[in-house]
């Protein structure tokens, strides 16, 4: 089995970090995994994304042209990445910063006001990235909440340990996204 | 994320950090560098770690200074390195030529990006010629190692230090922007090679012995002839002992796909796709670019119908494959000028078109 993921947003939303947590999680699950960031002549506030490939065997290619699961945290990423969702794949859309619109009928859409929920429930919009991983965990069934929690501990540096409880809350909140009325 | 040196735990790490961490574990005492994308994390890691360990880190004023500082440090017998990328590695060519004639174990990490000139910062394999044929003057060779995974970034950094010391020859770890920027799980085992005694040549202070001079100058013509013969005998020895490559499904193969570095990952998958379609495709991946596995390619040319070289440049390694095969069977090129390697599907499709 091989699955591909893209996490996209604008600079500052923590999409690279979220990708690193996800990739760490797959590593902890003993999968082969690669993480590759978009990098180039980027500007502050510009779009950022990273792709993660997870496989039981060797990862077939580090950079691919489509993905099974794509998280988009802003409108520009939603516009750019919708066409890159594999047929039957899923796109998770942050409707706090993107307009709910279905232009394809061969993919699954998950619309959720990720930033708004991070702000209201966690009092911190910076938690949107980790909250979205909670949603991904639930929607994909490919990585457990427990593994993501362990992965967070791997990624967050020692001098930021105080942030872990809040991030765990974010993961859980995301995982229960479908239970909450928004 | 950078890690703290030795750990037997699997860690998810960027290629650049993996290289830097491995260099520290290999016993690198001095790092000299000047930042350039896509390898800046190497210097960033070194700037903190070397100081912490009481080793030397110098952010040089230019790449010329950095590589010449490396030469100076190596002359004292310590392990020293620099790292850079493409257009800035160009600036180091004179010093690399000197380091070969001075026979100094300089280790240079070259993380390729687009060229020529300033080019761009995307991955590329356009410096195959630069590394294996050199831009410096005179007859010389650099030992060149080409990792294809982040784990190999670790293992081959270790090896680079070892081979540089063993043969007293500058050694290049030739990575690219993709390997430098991507993350993959790796383990850091301890440096696996023996330490090489350099007490017979290192400039370590002439206490109770005569002074020594390391120089790159032979005013008498005959001396230079003798020196070059000796240098090339050393290269012959390196070819005999150190040629390394990965090979898969070449037995009974009709075509063999030859590629190096990060591109070979996609080529492996392309070979799988071709085999599923009933095409007998094998792969050969040179791990050492000098010494190049010419002999093995020559052997394979007795049984294989065609070689296809896949690289992200305008076609460079293809010439070495052609030299090795020497016209016996066709050698074709599938390439992309710059950027991430072509997808496995595209490689497979383009190879099918060649058949």
User: Nearest Cβ partner of B181 from A20, A24, A39?
Assistant: A39
pLDDT tens for B152-210 read 999 999 999 999 999 999 999 999 999 999 999 999 999 999 999 999 999 999 999 99
The whole-number average pLDDT for the span B101-117 is 97
User: Nearest Cβ partner of B178 from A20, A58, A62?
Assistant: A62
Whether the predicted pLDDT of A91 surpasses 90: yes
Interface residue A39 vs chain B (CB under 8 A): yes
The distance of B344 to chain A (nearest Cα, Å) reads: 7
pLDDT tens for A40-86 read 666 667 789 999 999 999 999 999 999 999 999 999 999 999 999 99
Sort out which chain B residues have CB atoms less than 8 A from A23's CB and list them. 12, 183
What integer best gives the mean pLDDT of chain A? 95
Name all domains of chain B by residue range, CATH numbers in brackets: 7-191+229-241 (3.40.50.970), 245-354 (3.40.50.920)
pLDDT computed for residue B6 by the predictor: 63
pLDDT computed for residue B221 by the predictor: 73
Q: Are B71 and B38 in contact (CB under 8 A)?
A: no
Percent of chain B predicted with pLDDT > 90: 94
Cβ distance of A20 and B268 shorter than 8 Å? no
Q: Which helix (DSSP H) or strand (DSSP E) does residue A51 occupy?
A: strand A47-55
The whole-number average pLDDT for the span B130-145 is 96
Single out the residue of B272, B83, B245, B239 nearest to residue B169, CA to CA: B239
Residue of chain B minimizing CA distance to A52:
B183
Q: Distance between CA B268 and CA A32 in Å, rounded?
A: 16
Cα angle for residues B340, B149, A144 (degrees, 5° grid) = 95
Helix (H, G, I), strand (E, B) or coil at A37: strand
Place of tokens 């791990």: B287
On the question of a cis peptide bond just before residue A145, with omega within 30 degrees of 0, the verdict is no
Cβ distance of A33 and B184 shorter than 8 Å? yes
pLDDT computed for residue B281 by the predictor: 98
Grade residue B2 by pLDDT with cuts at 50, 70 and 90: very low
The whole-number average pLDDT for the span B86-90 is 98
Q: Distance between CA B101 and CA B214 in Å, rounded?
A: 9
pLDDT tens for B305-342 read 999 999 999 999 999 999 999 999 999 999 999 999 99
Cβ distance of B181 and A37 shorter than 8 Å? yes
Interface residue B181 vs chain A (CB under 8 A): yes
Percent of chain B predicted with pLDDT > 70: 98
Q: Distance between CA B209 and CA B203 in Å, rounded?
A: 11
Cβ distance of B266 and A24 shorter than 8 Å? no
**Ramachandran area for residue A165 (φ above 0: left; ψ -120 to 50: alpha; else beta):** alpha
pLDDT computed for residue B1 by the predictor: 43
The whole-number average pLDDT for the span A27-32 is 98
Q: Are A71 and A8 in contact (CB under 8 A)?
A: yes
Which of A23, A30, A56, A62 is most worth mutating to test chain B (most B CB atoms within 10 A of its CB)? A62
pLDDT computed for residue B134 by the predictor: 87
Name all domains of chain A by residue range, CATH numbers in brackets: 2-175 (3.40.920.10)
The distance of A14 to chain B (nearest Cα, Å) reads: 14
Single out the residue of B109, B87, B96 nearest to residue B67, CA to CA: B96
Cβ distance of A58 and B265 shorter than 8 Å? yes
User: Nearest Cβ partner of A60 from B121, B184, B269?
Assistant: B269
Interface residue B122 vs chain A (CB under 8 A): yes
Q: Are B80 and B107 in contact (CB under 8 A)?
A: yes
Residue of chain A minimizing CA distance to B181:
A36
Question: Strand pairing partners for A34?
Answer: A53
Compute CA distances A99 → A72, A103, A121, B88, B272, whole Å.
Answer: 11, 12, 22, 45, 42
Task: Give the Cβ contact number of residue B227 at 10 Å.
Answer: 14
pLDDT computed for residue B218 by the predictor: 73
3-state helix/strand/coil string of B219-288? CCHHHHHHHHHHHHHHHHHHHHHHCCEEEECCCCCCEEEECCCCHHHHHHHHHHHHHHCCCCEEEEEECE
**β-strands B80-84, B143-145: how paired?**
unpaired
User: Nearest Cβ partner of A20 from B121, B183, B344?
Assistant: B183
Cβ distance of A36 and B38 shorter than 8 Å? no
Q: Are B339 and B122 in contact (CB under 8 A)?
A: yes
pLDDT tens for B212-256 read 999 887 777 778 899 999 999 999 999 999 999 999 999 999 999
Single out the residue of B74, B47, B71, B72 nearest to residue B59, CA to CA: B47
pLDDT computed for residue B346 by the predictor: 97
pLDDT computed for residue A42 by the predictor: 66
The pair of structure tokens assigned to B219 is 């005013």
The pair of structure tokens assigned to B64 is 């010329």
Place of tokens 């003993």: A30
Q: What is the ipTM of this complex?
A: 0.94
Grade residue A182 by pLDDT with cuts at 50, 70 and 90: low
Q: Are B243 and B145 in contact (CB under 8 A)?
A: no
The whole-number average pLDDT for the span B265-274 is 98
The pair of structure tokens assigned to B135 is 């831009």
The distance of A4 to chain B (nearest Cα, Å) reads: 14
3-state helix/strand/coil string of A101-117? CCCCCCCEEEEECHHHH
The distance of A100 to chain B (nearest Cα, Å) reads: 32
């Amino acid at each position: 089995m091989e699955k591909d993921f893209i996490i996209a947003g604008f600079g500052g939303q923590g999409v690279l970090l979220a990708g690193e947590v996800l990739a760490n999680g797959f590593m902890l699950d003993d999968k082969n995994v690669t993480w590759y960031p978009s990098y180039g002549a980027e500007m502050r506030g510009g779009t950022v994304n990273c792709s993660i490939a997870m496989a039981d065997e060797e990862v077939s290619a580090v950079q691919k042209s489509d993905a099974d699961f794509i998280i988009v945290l802003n409108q520009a990423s939603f516009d750019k990445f919708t066409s890159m969702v594999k047929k039957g794949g899923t796109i998770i859309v942050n409707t706090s910063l993107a307009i709910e619109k279905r232009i394809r009928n061969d993919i699954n859409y998950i619309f959720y006001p990720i930033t708004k929920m991070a702000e209201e429930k966690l009092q911190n919009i910076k938690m949107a990235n980790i909250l979205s991983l909670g949603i991904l965990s639930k929607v994909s069934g490919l990585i457990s909440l427990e593994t993501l929690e362990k992965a967070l501990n791997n990624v967050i540096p020692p001098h930021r340990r105080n942030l872990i409880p809040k991030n765990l809350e974010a993961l859980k909140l995301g995982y229960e996204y479908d239970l909450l009325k928004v | 994320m950078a890690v703290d040196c030795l750990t037997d735990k699997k860690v998810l790490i960027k290629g650049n950090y993996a290289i830097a961490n491995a260099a520290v574990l290999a016993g690198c005492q001095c790092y000299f560098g000047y930042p350039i994308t896509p390898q800046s994390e190497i210097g960033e890691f070194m700037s903190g770690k070397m100081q912490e360990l009481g080793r030397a880190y110098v952010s040089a004023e230019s790449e010329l200074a950095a590589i010449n500082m490396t030469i100076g440090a190596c002359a004292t017998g310590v392990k020293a390195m620099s790292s850079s990328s493409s257009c800035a590695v160009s600036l180091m060519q004179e010093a690399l030529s000197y380091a070969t004639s001075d026979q100094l174990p300089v280790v240079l990490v070259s993380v390729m990006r687009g060229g020529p000139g300033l080019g761009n910062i995307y991955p590329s394999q356009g410096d195959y010629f630069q590394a294996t044929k050199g831009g410096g003057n005179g007859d010389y060779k650099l030992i060149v190692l080409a990792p294809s995974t982040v784990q190999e970034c670790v293992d081959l950094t270790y090896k680079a230090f070892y081979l540089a010391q063993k043969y007293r020859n500058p050694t290049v770890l030739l990575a690219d922007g993709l390997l430098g920027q991507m993350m993959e799980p790796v383990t850091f085992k301890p440096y696996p090679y023996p330490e090489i005694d350099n007490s017979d040549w290192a400039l370590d202070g002439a206490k109770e012995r005569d002074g020594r001079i390391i120089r790159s100058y032979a005013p008498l013509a005959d001396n230079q002839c003798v020196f070059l013969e000796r240098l090339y005998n050393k290269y012959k020895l390196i070819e005999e002992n150190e040629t390394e490559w990965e090979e898969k499904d070449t037995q009974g193969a009709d075509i063999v796909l030859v590629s190096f570095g990060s591109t070979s990952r996609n080529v492996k998958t392309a070979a799988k796709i071709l085999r599923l379609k009933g095409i007998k495709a094998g792969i050969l991946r040179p791990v050492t670019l000098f010494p190049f596995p010419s002999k093995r390619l020559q052997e394979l040319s007795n049984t294989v119908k065609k070689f296809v070289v896949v690289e992200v440049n305008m076609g460079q390694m293809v010439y070495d494959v052609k030299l090795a095969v020497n016209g016996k069977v066709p050698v074709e090129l599938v390439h992309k000028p710059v950027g991430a390697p072509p997808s496995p599907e595209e490689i497979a499709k383009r190879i099918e078109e060649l058949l």
